[in-house]
Amino acid sequence: MSRRAAVLVARGVFPEVLERLVQHFDVEANADDSVWPAAELSARLLGKAGVFTTGSERIDAELLDAHPQLRAVCNMAVGYNNIDLDACTARGVLVSNTPDVLTETTADFGFALMMAAARRITEGEHFLRAGQWTKWSFDMLAGAEVHGTRLGVLGMGRIGQAIARRGALGFGMPVIYHNRSRLDPAIEQQLGARWVGKAELLREADHLVIVVPYSPQSHHLIGAAELAQMKPGATLTNIARGGVVDDAALAQALRDRRIAAAGLDVFEGEPSVHPDLLTLPNVVLTPHIASASIATRLAMANLAADNLIAALGCGPQAGRPPTALNPQVLAAQP
């Protein structure tokens, strides 16, 4: 009997998903769900052929060079900016992510976050809990309209398109979008969406939702100059990745009321949050939970497990991980 491969599950995960992995591998699991520092992660990767990661674990060239036996890095997330994909590919390490399964749940949350910012829902709750609601007044916590206003989407992938559908079909919102490449005209027509340049998107959107992947090219894609181009009554919602928006510049724009409000689920350097954002009433803050329904998180975990099982040559999809980011490395693996 051949020796079973060893794998590391770097964060806490559903017991049923761990049980699936145990059927194929010798599994070391993170029972405490600790966020391991780099040195501890490296120590625990000794002898491991694969690792089940989340956004918390940095997989870079230095770590890979210390573990030449590593063959698969399977991320329980759509984004993979925690992983140096080029370094993995150069060393023959398979990388996968978990797209599709979280699209609708994330879009639901993004739209809810945008509405909460526009209609001042968090601000209203704080106002009520503090005992400040003593009478009705005509302008008490009056926010921005959503229905029929112009929705701007920056990044028109799966989630961006799902956001656009909600706005166009559910709220009668004209949709404009900016993307590196235009959608097929048939999809644009289905979504009621019109491609515009980035400057026009910023200038014309009443509600801007950001859904671009993070990369060095998208770092601070929205900064002080871009915020200055937006309408004073506009809202900004970021469900993409921390670092796409310059949080310090956004805090200043919110404080100066250069834009009306923001909804943020992601932050630079998270779980740390820029302290200026914490002091502002006109921003809704959530702790990176856009995909956090039980059904969706379970689907993400199972897809990451599917990828790990297949990448290491087990199960019915052996050698064919369903959502590999660099499948070309499989041909070169022994």
- What tens digit of pLDDT does each residue of 136-176 get? 999 999 999 999 999 999 999 999 999 999 999 999 999 99
Q: Which one from 4, 150, 220, 288 is the annotated catalytic residue?
A: 288
Block residue for tokens 């014309």: 204
Whole-model pTM above 0.85? yes
Q: What dihedral angle (degrees, nearest 10) is formed by the CA atoms of 14, 294, 315, 60?
A: -70
> Residue 151: helix, strand or coil by DSSP?
strand
**Of all helices (H) and strands (E), which one includes residue 114?**
helix 103-118
Omega before residue 271 within 30° of 0, cis: yes
Active site residue 270: yes
Active-site residue 241, yes or no? Answer: yes
Q: Based on the residue annotation, tell me whether 24 is a catalytic residue of this protein.
A: no
pLDDT at 334: 64
φ and ψ of 6, to 5 deg: -100, 140
- Residue of 241, 258, 274, 297 marked active site: 241
Number of helices (H) and strands (E) in the chain: give both, helices first: 14, 12
Per-residue pLDDT of the chain (334 residues; tens, 9 = 90+): 358 999 999 999 999 999 999 999 999 999 999 999 999 999 999 999 999 999 999 999 999 999 999 999 999 999 999 999 999 999 999 999 999 999 999 999 999 999 999 999 999 999 999 999 999 999 999 999 999 999 999 999 999 999 999 999 999 999 999 999 999 999 999 999 999 999 999 999 999 999 999 999 999 999 999 999 999 999 999 999 999 999 999 999 999 999 999 999 999 999 999 999 999 999 999 999 999 999 999 999 999 999 999 999 999 999 999 999 999 998 876 6
Sign of CA dihedral 158, 160, 162, 165: negative
329: nearest Cα among 316, 318, 319? 319
Residue 60 structure tokens: 């870079």
Q: Give me the catalytic one of 28, 200, 268, 270.
A: 270
Query: In the prediction, which pLDDT does 1 show?
Result: 35
Q: What tokens appear for 322 in the block?
A: 């369903």
Domains for the chain: give ranges and CATH numbers.
6-101+294-332 (3.40.50.720), 103-285 (3.40.50.720)
Question: In degrees, to the nearest 5, what angle opens at C-alpha 96 toward C-alphas 91 and 100?
Answer: 160
